[in-house]
A and B are shown apart, each in its own frame.
Chain A
């Protein structure tokens, strides 16, 4: 019996055992993940990491009460001891009438989802790809200190079942190469930057087949990382003031994250959200249309059910600036007396024009391009934020000089109401497809 079959058998055993011990309902999530990472630093193999995880998460409902237990032990005696321990604790808790299994009418009822690529890359192929990645920049610039390249591959299998007949399974893979370069800067500084390629099949690494280690993309990845690091040398600070700010695609999700957090049931029900009572209201400029499109199989984040087995579907989260939906699992939906939607986003798509970073910069005349955020946070209750930034000053539509050690401060609702353009250059290495975004009247603190 292979490991997945063993886990499925354990799920069935656990459901029955928990019911026998007096639980009124049970949901089990079994996860098996096999992942590998190879890292080359300059001209030598620096790290090999191999991981195999098999975890069972048990959600127990007993006497109107609820608790969870998680283990990587897969023997029936160990599971029984854990169930006894957890059920004892659960029976001491206060009752919670909102803890329930996913209702049959909204749960996933489809077949197992197979998004996994079947042929793993051979070790020698991985090494050759990584060396071709670092060799693309080694010796090409005297300022280069180090180039590292990491190839990660992962296969993740998830199975969810519950005592009322829920039965969901998915199997997915992920392949990526991450290149990072550090270079000599002014004084003692050593600026660094990175680039990444990746996707659900090895084709995302530029491979035509798994056995041939030829890819033009991997070298480009290191070349881009080196250029970015070199471009960051000798940064300056500019005067405090209000600026046109263009946020690069790979940094833009930092600004979207507080919005998504504020839309979650846990934040809303606990009044810990600046978007409380904003359903149907304008929360951003008409430029912002945000769609959650979970069934795009070619993208990371694709899923047909969420972590409690609730079926996912396409939703417009924000429609031309108007808030359309919250992220409510069954628990918080019950507490808020609203219909459940889904617990969290899957594949978020921000619709824009046909522009990319350079064409948007060309249209902004003078302003700042933010290529990365350095720390900072957003107050979840008020939406007030403050983030460190790095990037480039733009004069007459052209990148002029690198900027660092400045801070962008404001309020999330105000900021998103000042969104004036969104590009169409989202990276597909993340489940949040955020393109480059142009905001006006952004407050920056510097000199």
Chain B
């Protein structure tokens, strides 16, 4: 690939910056349904995306073709975003970035055929059916992908890296006296085939049957405003929705985020630290380098209760005259990079989960979630609770399920009154959507929020 020529074409009408993102991906999946692994899928695709940045404006085009003429056409299309002014010089040499290795692959996925993978799904199926006689259906899916990325930009940076991603997901349906319930669990890591272990299968089988069985006696709670204790782990969805998106600096630079004018101000109580971290080894949210050539890092968004950093790509970092935080991510070569989260979590506090629950007279304890959403400007966020308990007089009582909880980001942050010392990073197959999908992870110690609106029956 003549990278220099493509960058020069991209910048032919001017521009501050240009980059080339070349990607080849190979993905496999197998699915077990009705006791048989009888569906396999293979995806092989590749292409190159060309981006030109002029101020806050972006031109982007991609081609799936490896032909020089097609790639040059993409570069010319992207160049149209700039129509005046000078362009930066494309350097004559590229310097390869020294990357860490946060996701070493011991056994490449290409070394494993369906023959070696299928026994894990059959074992998962058998263990799930064996764990509870009420199990009537199991669907299990194993997916792996390996993406090879080659990157060049007009600053002279270059990198090549291989990104693995694997996930194992199981859905279990149980039937009891005509009542049916379903639950799903998953695990996902940036790993090679060493991801597949007997321990993983046992863990998922036990977890999914316990979660499904729990739902038989659970009810939708009575709705209203009440204190909520969020359990450690996947409660990190609160951070992702309530503040994470609103901290993404594309919204901030456009003055559309509810936190746009809160930099340096107190937004929650002292002692609370919230990070977005690309450095967790093998995490689904881990990166060695982001998709615009910035090394991944651990970014403190909230330090001791003070808003200390937004999540930047190159465009917003330049706008705010700061350094990019390594959050410029994209789904694939088909998309331009934008600020996205990686692994978002709160660091440990000093309370215990038991003391947080004991302090609530009447409220909710929630521990399993499926999805969430936020309105960036209004600040209203929601997350859907799959299971939890009522808290009555400091004790967990009635199991609950299927309720949406809604709050306002800044208000909810200010109402976090207790943080436990039991941080768990949730390694489920979380995917964030913002016009394009990105793998992420989240985590949280148990926290007490003094007031949230809980959806429920009268």
Could you list which residues of chain A lie within 8 angstroms of chain B, going by C-beta atoms?
Answer: 41, 44-55, 65-73, 78, 82, 85-86, 88-90, 92-96, 99, 123, 145-146, 182, 185, 188-192, 232, 235, 237, 240-242, 270-272, 335, 374-377, 379-382, 384-388, 390, 404-410, 443-447
Contact = CB atoms under 8 A, between A and B. Distances in A.
Contacts of A404: 378, 380
B38 A69 contact: no
A442 to B, nearest CB: 11
Given A96-B38, A376-B455, A52 B384 contact: no
B288 to A, nearest CB: 26
B33 A270 contact: yes
A146 B256 contact: yes
Contacts of A241: 458
A190 B40 contact: no
B46 A72 contact: yes
Contacts of B372: 375
B187 to A, nearest CB: 21
Interface of B: 28, 30, 33-34, 36-47, 56-64, 74, 77-78, 80-81, 113-115, 118, 136-137, 139, 171, 173, 175, 180-182, 220, 223-225, 241, 254-262, 334, 336, 370-373, 375-384, 401-408, 410, 453-458
Given A45-B57, A272-B182, A377 B408 contact: no
Contact of B407 (A69, A88, A335, A405): A405
Contacts of A407: 223, 382, 403-406, 453-456
Contacts of B370: 377
Contacts of B30: 89, 93
A140 B60 CA distance: 32
A88 B115 CA distance: 10
A321 B114 CA distance: 46
B61 A51 contact: yes
B432 to A, nearest CB: 14
A123 B76 CA distance: 14
Contacts of B407: 405
Given A190-B258, A407-B223, A445 B41 contact: no
Contacts of B220: 384, 386, 409
A388 B374 CA distance: 10
Given A82-B42, A89-B42, A190-B258, A377 B384 contact: yes
Contact of A70 (B38, B43, B384, B457): B43
A94 B37 contact: yes
B378 A68 contact: no
Contacts of A96: 36, 38-39
A143 to B, nearest CB: 12
Nearest to A68: B41
Contacts of A237: 453
A438 to B, nearest CB: 20
Contact of B45 (A45, A72, A376): A72
Contacts of B34: 335
Nearest to A276: B180
A189 B38 contact: no
B42 A68 contact: yes
* Most chain A CB inside 10 Å of its own CB: which residue of B38, B74, B259: B38
Contact of A89 (B114, B180, B181, B458): B114
A145 B254 CA distance: 8
Contacts of B377: 182, 185, 189-192
Nearest to B370: A377
Contacts of A67: 39-42
Contacts of A86: 40, 42
Contacts of A408: 455
A182 B260 CA distance: 13
